Structure 1
Amino acid sequence: MPAIRRFLKATSAIAIAGPLFALSPTAHAQQGNTVSPAYAKAYVNTYAQAPSHYSPSDLSAQAGWLYPGNNYFYCQYNNPDDETYYHGHKNHWWAKTDDDSGNTNVWISEVYMTPGQDDQPAVPFSVLPLC
């Protein structure tokens, strides 16, 4: 148990790159019988209202919405077969979160995150790991 306490204490005090990224202690999101992996939450700014999806693809059913602001994410995934376009930008990276409509373990295209470049992860892997 002491190792877990040290880990939680260390991760709760980490802040990376000012207000754009931050880590918090590990949390589990649940939906039915599924549990989100034990990733530390990474807080990232989203600049637009983003549709959430049940899988990392615009082709999957829309689950709900994530509103602009400082939102938490668990991990990220590259889906080069499905690109999302928004206001002249495009991205095929997705991030797992819980949306503002009450859905857990849903996906948001990283095209709605700041900072971001086309077809690149919006967040470094050291902050938001691969799923």
Structure 2
Amino acid sequence: MNISLQYSQITVNDLDESLAFYRDALGLEVRNDVGSDGQRWVTLGSASQPDLELVLSEPHAGRSKDDGDALQVLLTKGVLPVIVFRTDNVDATFEHLRAAGAEVLQEPIDQPWGPRDCAFRDPSGNHVRFNQKS
């Protein structure tokens, strides 16, 4: 049996604003932009991982009003799961994202458990980290 990750969900407040971060600043490519019943989902990916896509959607997309409202509260608090990307040069990635106007949470540091990393918030407040193996 061979199992691999195909999609990972990122909940955002505004898809177009989030595309400025994930597509324009990070360089991910839009693979699909789909609308249905007044909702929209955008999938993005990287050439280095062609079989993995990130799905951006707003809290109420495909969910009940109550579930969407609950997810919106968590997003607003900034307590949704951390998103971690791997990069071959964390310092260059940091400078690129800072120059693009991303909110810095942590400048690059060498972590005691191994990687050099840094952290930002995306436009919706999601905690996004970038790791470089030492």
User: Fold match, TM over 0.5?
Assistant: no
TM-score (norm 2): 0.26
The structure number with the bigger radius of gyration is 2
More helix by share: 2
TM-score (norm 1): 0.27
